Amino acid sequence: MKKFDPASSIQDLLQFGEFGDVNPSITDSATYSFMEAKTMVDTFHGETEGCFLYSRHWNPSNKYLADALAAMEGTEAAWVTGSGMGAITSAILQLVNTGDHIVSSITTYGGTFAFLKNYLPKFNIEVSFVDITNLDEVKKAMRPNTKIIYTETMTNPMLNISDLPELSKIADTVGAKLMVDNTFTPMIITPIKHGAHIVVYSMTKFINGKNDCVAGAICGTMDYINSLSDVNSGTAMLLGPVLDPMRSSSILKNIHTLHIRMKQHSANAMYLALKFKEIGLKFVYTGMPECKGHDLMKKMMNPEFGFGGMIAIDMQTAVRASLLMEMMQKQGVGYLAVSLGYFKTLFSNSGKSTSSEVPEETQKEMGLSEGLVRFSVGLDNDIERTFDKIHYCLKELKFV
């Protein structure tokens, strides 16, 4: 049998709109009517198939997008949220009670780190931060009350790769769930196929790819997704980080071009990586055989989508990083901006921006250089020309 193909899986999903529309109609309603009062009561108790009650609970437009995500991830179900943080926090809170314990990668998105480190202690939920690439350290951190191992497939911003099959085995020893943020590598890696129990996304990034909204997603078993939306105890239902159906509709259209975009992001990033090597820059790109996570990524990836669009280069100091980024923006390489997965190239200094929630000594511990410039490589048609611009900046600044 052919390996799982997330792009074909989405393509095979035919979603007929109310009038046979090929782009399903947007359901622009907060509430829904019932012909019979009893059906409403049954819907409240989750006992009716295909009935909608209220849009914080479920909305048809959100359901179309969630179904496409479940197809892409090979999960039974999915849920969509108003932001990546809405997805991550709901997914975590659904699984932990006061007194529980979480083991997390020390390198995660800054907001996730802040939530785990500063927010969860309010509920007496303890988090042990580990080097997720050191499996012995992960094993040692596990406790009988560990409910989640949390990591990112490709971690932000150091671009380490998590060994999902091994982490899944470790989680299973205490009945914990392996929760994986796959924001950097949609389609490239399908975490569920490697033992992850729950996959979370910031759809703000590659999945939507247009930088016109924030959105998130949670993919998992039907039971788990139903538990999130339970009217009495569901975190997503009760905290209410719902996605607007207008946005669901636009993201659904963008998801159908995700495979083409991922291939182009990857091809462009690979081109730049090879050039960076030629001119002797210090950088991380998982597509390079000498990169620490390369072999592991090769084992897990759906190969046709490449190694992704993320490259980090080390400019040693924050001052040098700033000079380079400002000049690259003036030369039209792309934007000096946080975020990623956009059609234009974006670059930012991780230590001073998206990882600034991580205290400086922790940044050192995780090997994050203050001069790290993280690139999200765009969909440029002529990437050679883009490289020439970057090279020009590096030469002008006497950095190469």
Ligand X SMILES: *Cc1c(COP(=O)(O)O)cnc(C)c1O
Q: What minimum distance in Å lies between the beta carbon of 368 and ligand X?
A: 15
Which one, 186 or 216, has the nearer CB to ligand X?
A: 216
- CB burial readout 331-351, b (16+ within 10 A) else e: eebbbbbbbbbbeebbbbbbb
195: its two tokens: 């033992």
Nearest approach, Cβ of 387 to ligand X (angstroms)? 25
Q: Shortest approach of ligand X to residue 213 CB, angstroms?
A: 9
| CB 102, CB 147: distance < 8 Å | yes
Percent helix, percent strand, percent coil in the chain, to nearest 5: 40, 15, 45
DSSP-derived secondary structure for 322-338: HHHHHHHHHTTSEEE-S
According to DSSP, the residues that pair with 149 across neighbouring strands are 103, 178
Q: Which is nearer to ligand X, 207 or 327 (CB)?
A: 207
Q: Return the C-alpha torsion angle 204, 162, 377, 337, nearest 10.
A: 50
**Shortest distance, CB of residue 95 to ligand X, whole angstroms?**
17
- Residue number of the CB closest to ligand X reads 84
Binding site for ligand X (CB under 6 A): 83-85, 109, 111-112, 152, 156, 181, 183, 202, 204-205, 214, 216
Closer CB to ligand X, 346 or 379, in the complex: 346
Q: For residue 121, say if its preceding peptide bond is cis, omega within 30 degrees of 0.
A: no
Minimum distance between the CB of residue 47 and ligand X, rounded to whole angstroms?
A: 33
Spatial distance between the Cα atoms of 331 and 347, rounded to a whole number of angstroms? 13
Tokens 């059906």 sit at which residue? Answer: 39
The smaller minimum CB distance to ligand X, of residues 39 and 211, is found at 211
Shortest distance, position 216 Cβ to ligand X, whole Å: 5
* Nearer Cβ to ligand X (46/82): 82
Neighbours of 304 (CB within 10 A): 14
- Minimum CB separation of residue 220 from ligand X in Å reads 17
The nearer residue to ligand X, 204 or 264, going by C-beta atoms, is 204
**Closer Cβ to ligand X, 6 or 157, answer by number:** 157
Q: How far is the CB of 242 from ligand X (least distance, A)?
A: 14
Q: Cα(268)–Cα(383) distance, rounded to whole angstroms?
A: 6
β-partners of residue 78 are 219
Asked if residues 314 and 351 have their Cβ atoms less than 8 Å apart, the reply is: no
Q: Which residue in 65, 73, 64 sits closest to 219, CA to CA?
A: 73
Nearer to ligand X, 24 or 110 (CB): 110
Strands 126-130 and 101-105, how do they pair?
Answer: parallel
Q: How many CB atoms sit inside 10 A of residue 382's CB? A: 9
Q: At closest approach, how far in Å is the CB of 133 from ligand X?
A: 17
Nearer to ligand X among residue 24 and residue 216 (C-beta): 216
Whole-angstrom distance, CA of residue 154 vs CA of residue 349: 18
Helix, coil or strand: residue 97: coil
The nearest distance, CB 158 to ligand X, in angstroms, is 12
Residue the block writes with tokens 């150091």: 158
Single-letter amino acid, residue 64: Y
